[in-house]
Amino acid sequence: MERNVRILGAPTDYGANRRGVDMGPSAIRYAGLAEELESAGVSPTDAGDLAVPHHATRDADAGAANAKHVQEVEEVTTSLADAVSTALAEGTTPLALGGDHSIAIGSLVGSARDADIGVIWFDAHGDFNTPSTSPSGNVHGMPLAAALGVGDFAGVEWANAAGLKEENVAIVGLRSVDGVEAEAIRDSDVTVYTMSDIDERGVTEVTNDALDVATAGTDGIHVSLDLDWLDPREAPGVGTPVRGGVTYREAHAAMELVARSEAMRSFELVEVNPILDQHNETATLATELAASALGKRIL
């Protein structure tokens, strides 16, 4: 049966510290997302973008202390959660396009609204900070902690993903983490595979292990792909690049394993910033990886 994918744009930079990532959805579409998905044998439908007021019209410090634009993040992610939940209820696979990684709060809340889910978090960063621990106050460094109800996010209804447990979360490719954030991750039941693990064991073995973690006792998984997971030489158009990431081929191998698992129920591509990109290279890479995650093969 042909898989139907619903594209949901979330053009927000509320959670980031560098402007331009709000143009990510447009850049990814322009790079040929629909055509790449069709080449993977899926049927894409573009639902357009969520309504997101420009950040300059809002007060970054109007909400909680040390959580910039948190009120706006709540608005956007609540809308995205509803859109993701609706897409799933209608039998389609939601593909959210960021925008910064704060949109993952909405993807996770929506995907876990009526199901028990696991998560694979392909990212250079842990995104496990809270307002109390964040050095910057940027919410794109907090979405995983928010969805799991860690620290300041405990009991925050709009941010907590009901059907998600720490033991079903796997972070893959971690190589940049803040001190207190690292302690919080170690104290949690989240499973972490650093870039050192990938170096030592290979991306296929690590991704298979992550899939085992995310699928254990769940109804399906959400895949969150931050383009800064890749090395900046492969994906230059990201706001927080960290050297030493995965290669082009390693990234495709991981996405191909995700497709082969047939466990993915929701997906997001985040942190593509065309202002920082070269010839839309990172957006093009995002489309190719999406196709691999949805079943595109060489043969």
* pLDDT for residue 65: 66
222 is catalytic: no
User: Which of the residues 13, 271, 277, 288 is marked catalytic?
Assistant: 271
Catalytic residue among 55, 69, 140, 252: 140
Is 90 one of the annotated active-site residues of the chain?
no
Whether 54 is catalytic is no
Is 22 known to be catalytic? no
Structure confidence by residue, pLDDT tens digits, 34-43? 999 999 999 9
The question of whether 82 is a catalytic residue gets the answer no
Catalytic residue selected from 125, 152, 231, 250: 125
Catalytic: which of 13, 69, 74, 101? 101
Q: Write down the pLDDT at residue 106.
A: 97
pLDDT of the residue at 71: 85
13 is in an annotated binding site: no
Cβ atoms of 85 and 190 closer than 8 Å: no
- Residue 17, CA atoms < 13 Å, CB-side half-sphere: 11
Integer Cα distance of 145 and 127 in angstroms: 7
Q: What is the pLDDT of residue 57?
A: 62
Residue 116 annotated as part of some ligand binding site: no
54 annotated to bind ligand? no
Q: Please pick, among 22, 75, 228, 234, the residue that the annotation labels catalytic.
A: 228
Structure token pair of residue 285: 């890479």
pLDDT in tens, the chain (299 residues): 689 999 999 999 886 777 899 999 999 999 999 999 999 999 999 999 999 877 666 655 655 667 777 888 999 999 999 999 999 999 999 999 999 999 999 999 999 999 999 999 999 999 999 999 998 878 898 999 999 999 999 999 999 999 999 999 999 999 999 999 999 999 999 999 999 999 999 999 999 999 999 999 999 999 999 999 999 999 999 999 999 999 999 999 999 999 999 999 999 999 999 999 999 999 999 999 999 999 999 87
Q: Is 212 a catalytic residue?
A: no
pTM for this entry:
0.95
Q: Is 191 helix (H, G, I), strand (E, B) or coil?
A: strand
The dihedrals phi and psi of 289, each to the nearest 5 degrees, come to: -70, -35
- Burial degree of 33 (CB within 10 A; 0-12, 13-18, 19+): buried
At residue 297, φ and ψ (nearest 5 deg) are -130, 160
Helix, strand, or coil (residue 272) = coil
Q: Model confidence over 171-225: pLDDT tens digits? A: 999 999 999 999 999 999 999 999 999 999 999 999 999 999 999 999 999 999 9
Catalytic residue among 72, 74, 75, 123: 123
Annotated binding residue at 226? yes
Residues in contact with 68: Cβ distance below 8 Å, sequence separation at least 6, in sequence order: 14, 15, 60, 61, 137, 138, 139
